[in-house]
Structure 1
Amino acid sequence: MNKSIINKTGFVALLAFLFMGCKDLDLTPENVYTDLTYWKTTDQASGMLNTAYSQLFSSDYFFYNEAMSDNAYSGRGDQAGSTSLASGAYDASLPRLKNEWNDCYRAIKTCNVFLDNVDRVPNMDESLRTRMKAEARFIRAFQYFRLMTWFGDVPLIKKDLTIVEAQTISRSPREEVLFFVVTELNEIVNNLPVNTEYGPKDKGRITKGAAIALKARVMLYEGNWQEVVNACSLLMDNTSNGTYGLFNSYEGLFLPQNENNNEVILDMQYVPLLRTWSNFFDLAPLSVGGRVNVMAPTQELVDSYLTLNGKRIGEAGAGYDENDPYVNRDPRLTYTVVYHGYQWKEASGDPKTIYIKPGSDPNHNKPEMDPNERNPPDEYAPGSSKTPTGYYIRKYYDPTHAANFTSGLNLILIRYADVLLMYAEAKNELAKLDEATWNRTIRPIRVRAGFTDAAALNYNSALTQEQLREVIRNERRTELALEGLRIFDIRRWRIAETVLNGWAHGAKFGPANEDNGYIRVNLRSFDRTKHYLWPVPREERNLNPNLSQNPNW
């Protein structure tokens, strides 16, 4: 796992940069990285760019953003603000808002400092300088895309700011930020290598394909369907923009031995012992070493998985049995969610059965058992440290993990399956989804998932555009489940006001007289008049009165 973009030089630069204390629109001392004595070597410039890479995104947001949606629930604490955001019980003082704002602007500052100063480096290979500038501009555009998606209007900063400027700048209109993001991506695309041009030591760097795919995602969120088609086509029809395809195993896609495969377009690179994440310590079943459960899948997510003949569980002829609900289902369910009776596979050894249904563990209250072992670790129990929904997470489990589930497994931000799904959605919204489009997008995704029934794989010409819309949306949900994208989909589709109002549920381990026995997990509320945009963080507005506030906050 050779990931030299997070090398010693970059790590030292990161520590120094963070030690200076970036915060509040980057009120950082200007006497180190803008000093003429710093920008003397290519290695120094690389160190600054590597810092920007390390600030691209965080594992906490990657995982816990899912609990902001109807796919998962964070039941212990308020992980990355997800519980408050999902329930609608927050205001402008919520720490997650300030943290997201500052994280983005910290990365933007790093990119601006790099771009303001990289031309000072003498004797630098000009093609490398051009490429590195494009990488920094991509990371900066990625951060602005995050900011405008959450907050709408945000300050658009294209150069390193003085302290006075940072304390007086105003929010730029969202349309201006959007124009900047798209323009940046258009301008840098031809200055970036394709994925096959990077050698082993540079795997994980930003590519031409990543710039195209990010533009497709930006256009998707804008509902600019023709531009989505145009961007996705560049990756689907033209290998001069990169060589991408579906990896041959859905399960294997998320395993460490298959990192940097041709489905990965953009990811967060990790290095065992140097840059790691350990979120699974609080996601895995307790019987396999989990500490406590802080986030668990919902019944709503589980119910979204089709039966093997391509039908929803409530459809006639689906073959769904509520008393044996996990058989005859989309194989991706097993690779994503841990349910009662799950066969948990380790890197070696026999599978371990996960007992979640109350009273089901063979060791439950056996008198010959040690008293400390009579309370089975995974059986659902309200108010315990176990799963609050009756489910645990499997996707992104690293069988090669170190102590406390510490992992160097890369976390994928954009992959080729998403490109196919974006293309299918856009073609349908343009009323142009035909059998040929289906066979290039949904069909191969389902084949890779493990479907074999013709009814699940073949295009159904009898479906209306609205019915196809629901098929594609559900396919996005199950294919990309627990990858942090659902919250953005339900917001751009404007269905958050529906799916985030009312009870989120867990497995059928609750009182029979309440919601047919499905656990009531969390009562949620989404106000369509305000919650589609986050409020500007209160602390930022206290520091800078020129920052206006979003409607109804």
Structure 2
Amino acid sequence: MNNRKKITAYSFLGILCLLVINGCNKLDTVPTNKFTDANFWQSVENSEQMVNMAYNQMFSADKMWNDEALSDNIFEGRSNTAQRSIRNGTADPSLDLFSGEWQWGYQGIKSCHVYLANIDNVPGMDPALKNRRKAEIRFIRASIYFRLTNFYGAVPFFTQDISLDEANQMTRTPRATIMNFIHQELDEIIPVLPKRESLSAAENGRITKGAACAFQARAYLYESNWAKTAEYCQKLISNSAEFGSYSLFPSYAGIFTAANEYNSEVILDYGYVPSLKMWSKFYDAAPLSAGARLNAYAPLQGLVNNYITLNGTSIDKDPSYNSANPYVNRDPRMAASIVFHGGKWINFNGTESTIYIRPGTGNNGTERMDNYVSASSNSTSTGYYIKKYYDQTATATFDAGLNIIMYRYADILLMYAEAKFEQGQMDETVWNQTIRSIRTRAGFTAATALNFPSTLSQTDMRRLIRDERRSELALEGLRYFDVIRWKAGSQYLNGYVYGARFINNNTEDIRLDNRRFDESRDYLWSVPRSQMDLNSNLQPNNPGYAN
């Protein structure tokens, strides 16, 4: 178990320490039976607990899956979740997710500020270690601000700890100002951070130069700053001596397994620890015959349709595509990410099962458990189950210790391809370096799938790059943010969503929610009602939402 995972597993101790620090009275006599401002920061070990608490607050598996549910890749059919309310256009400022995400963000920012305000008080700490830890904390703080401003736009912004009274008087800072801060922070910390090759095995998962560089690329991507996006991607593609060496892992499916954590493609992940710190999404997402409790989270037909044929052609343009047998001769990444009718599943004991989803199929009661029944049944509501991130080493109730990848090298290649295209610089060299490499790794061999499509129009090339990104990064929590930055909400997040063709004797697609995207409102979330009630300076609210 690496050090970051060890300390993250004891994050409750760090939270306790923070609560004591926040609540103590400095005028009181220093107690000897608990930590206070006067004695907590006298220990390097204690300060390391605070660093790892900040890591713990940076992201989570739940956040990744919830982000995916905001997109056109996933349908949540068991209840009216917050994500489903947002997609169906019924969310208002009182929605729990709006307030929960806001609270989470500012709790994490407070941890970072407390650390930065006190770390210089720690005696005997190696200066190089101290500077590196400060850089890690600044990365985490920037990451949280980035997430907040992507959701809410203008948000309260400050770079040191503030009092409750001060917090309740804060105004909102424009997104552009926050983004400028993020870019400056990342440029300043890159020289301080180590590259991945400098990490010991015990330090796997720590923030590196490569992670900060990847974050810069994504931050510029979300601003459509194509030149800067390409610049930072290029650093990771060609400057391994400075930023670390990364490459596509040979097996697409293997990227997301416990056996291959910290592989050559992973730039930064969020750590979990078997038996100590785990996540359990698959208990309500895997096939029922594999031991899942029910299905509350299923891929949509739109995602399945996005996967091209082995010829490199979309299914609507490939004459060899057979709608009666739709899952053959398709992009191998589909079978690695989604369980479809007739697809394979590796059980916890290593045996392989065929999953029967089309109504009326299966040879026994167990096999028929996964059949589609209706959108409200315990089995799949869409005709599909999730496979990507399934941890075969998990417990019987799918409690998984598998890390969640935040940045990986294929994303760098896709960002680079998009940035070069949008600058009018997509050519065969860029194509071969990016799309061709990714498709080759996925398992494509046909020249029509791998060769540079030089005759495509600008519109068709843009669609190809965006569709490639969707297929490669499906179920990794990035799709929603892509749609938002493309300003393509009406295209992807509006209208009915569908499942497999399992209605009326397999002649009609399953029709599910009628989603609504308001172009004048839905690119940003509402400021939480609870926060506006506390602080009227947060008003006016984002367009389309009441104050």
**Aligned equivalents of 1:211, 1:511: Cα separation in 2:** 52
Q: Deviations over 1:134-178 (max 9, x none)?
A: 000000000000011000000012111111111111111111111
1:29 aligns with 23
Q: Deviations over 1:377-398 (max 9, x none)?
A: 1111112111110000000001
1:330 aligns with 331
1:68 aligns with 70
CA contact (8 A) 1:3 1:204 kept: no
1:530 aligns with 521
CA contact (8 A) 2:4 2:52 kept: no
Q: Could you say what secondary structure the match of 1:546 adopts?
A: helix
1:500 aligns with 493
Q: Go from structure 1 to structure 2 and tell me whether the alpha carbon gap of 1:375 and 1:310 turns closer, same or farther (over 3 Å shift).
A: closer
CA contact (8 A) 1:9 1:43 kept: no
Unpaired stretches in structure 1, ≥5 consecutive residues: 22-27, 364-372
TM-superposed deviation, 1:495: 1.1
TM-superposed deviation, 1:465: 2.3
TM-superposed deviation, 1:30: 6.0
2:474 aligns with 481
**Aligned equivalents of 1:44, 1:376: Cα separation in 2:** 53
Q: What one-letter code is carried by the residue in structure 1 that aligns with 2:297?
A: M
2:259 aligns with 257
CA contact (8 A) 2:249 2:255 kept: yes
Q: Go from structure 1 to structure 2 and tell me whether the alpha carbon gap of 1:374 and 1:52 turns closer, same or farther (over 3 Å shift).
A: closer
**Aligned equivalents of 1:546, 1:460: Cα separation in 2:** 53
1:24 aligns with none
TM-superposed deviation, 1:411: 0.5
Is residue 403 from structure 1 mapped to residue 396 from structure 2 by the alignment? yes
Q: Could you say what secondary structure the match of 1:403 adopts?
A: coil
Is residue 377 from structure 1 mapped to residue 363 from structure 2 by the alignment? no
Is residue 104 from structure 1 mapped to residue 105 from structure 2 by the alignment? yes
1:233 aligns with 234
CA contact (8 A) 2:289 2:366 kept: no
TM-superposed deviation, 1:233: 0.6
- Identify which of 468, 481, 487 aligns with 2:461: 468
Q: Could you say what secondary structure the match of 2:497 adopts?
A: strand
CA contact (8 A) 1:331 1:450 kept: yes
2:14 aligns with 14
Q: Go from structure 1 to structure 2 and tell me whether the alpha carbon gap of 1:478 and 1:18 turns closer, same or farther (over 3 Å shift).
A: farther
2:220 aligns with 219
TM-superposed deviation, 1:120: 0.5
- Please give the TM-score of this superposition, normalised by the length of structure 1: 0.94
Q: Go from structure 1 to structure 2 and tell me whether the alpha carbon gap of 1:455 and 1:526 turns closer, same or farther (over 3 Å shift).
A: same
**Aligned equivalents of 1:86, 1:34: Cα separation in 2:** 45
Is residue 188 from structure 1 mapped to residue 218 from structure 2 by the alignment? no
TM-superposed deviation, 1:29: 3.3
Q: Could you say what secondary structure the match of 2:160 adopts?
A: coil
**Aligned equivalents of 1:101, 1:182: Cα separation in 2:** 22
Q: Go from structure 1 to structure 2 and tell me whether the alpha carbon gap of 1:102 and 1:255 turns closer, same or farther (over 3 Å shift).
A: same
Give the stretch that moved more between structures: 460-469 or 48-57.
Answer: 460-469
TM-superposed deviation, 1:52: 0.2
**Aligned equivalents of 1:384, 1:9: Cα separation in 2:** 36
Q: Could you say what secondary structure the match of 2:180 adopts?
A: helix
Q: Deviations over 1:443-477 (max 9, x none)?
A: 11001101011110110111122221111100000
- Please give the TM-score of this superposition, normalised by the length of structure 2: 0.95
Is residue 294 from structure 1 mapped to residue 285 from structure 2 by the alignment? no
Q: What one-letter code is carried by the residue in structure 2 that aligns with 1:119?
A: D
CA contact (8 A) 1:500 1:525 kept: yes
Q: What one-letter code is carried by the residue in structure 2 that aligns with 1:69?
A: S
Q: What one-letter code is carried by the residue in structure 2 that aligns with 1:296?
A: A
Q: How many residues are matched?
A: 534
- Identify which of 408, 414, 418 aligns with 2:411: 418
Q: What one-letter code is carried by the residue in structure 2 that aligns with 1:490?
A: V
1:445-456 equivalences in 2 (<5 Å): 445-456=438-449
Q: What one-letter code is carried by the residue in structure 2 that aligns with 1:408?
A: G
**Aligned equivalents of 1:446, 1:488: Cα separation in 2:** 23
Q: Go from structure 1 to structure 2 and tell me whether the alpha carbon gap of 1:112 and 1:10 turns closer, same or farther (over 3 Å shift).
A: farther
CA contact (8 A) 2:355 2:367 kept: no
Percent sequence identity over matched residues?
47
CA contact (8 A) 1:10 1:48 kept: no
Q: Go from structure 1 to structure 2 and tell me whether the alpha carbon gap of 1:29 and 1:551 turns closer, same or farther (over 3 Å shift).
A: farther
Is residue 439 from structure 1 mapped to residue 441 from structure 2 by the alignment? no
**Aligned equivalents of 1:273, 1:335: Cα separation in 2:** 26
Q: What one-letter code is carried by the residue in structure 2 that aligns with 1:357?
A: R
CA RMSD of aligned residues (A): 1.8
Q: Go from structure 1 to structure 2 and tell me whether the alpha carbon gap of 1:40 and 1:5 turns closer, same or farther (over 3 Å shift).
A: farther
Q: Go from structure 1 to structure 2 and tell me whether the alpha carbon gap of 1:5 and 1:290 turns closer, same or farther (over 3 Å shift).
A: closer
**Aligned equivalents of 1:351, 1:391: Cα separation in 2:** 18
CA contact (8 A) 1:431 1:465 kept: no
Unpaired stretches in structure 2, ≥5 consecutive residues: 26-33
Q: Go from structure 1 to structure 2 and tell me whether the alpha carbon gap of 1:170 and 1:495 turns closer, same or farther (over 3 Å shift).
A: same
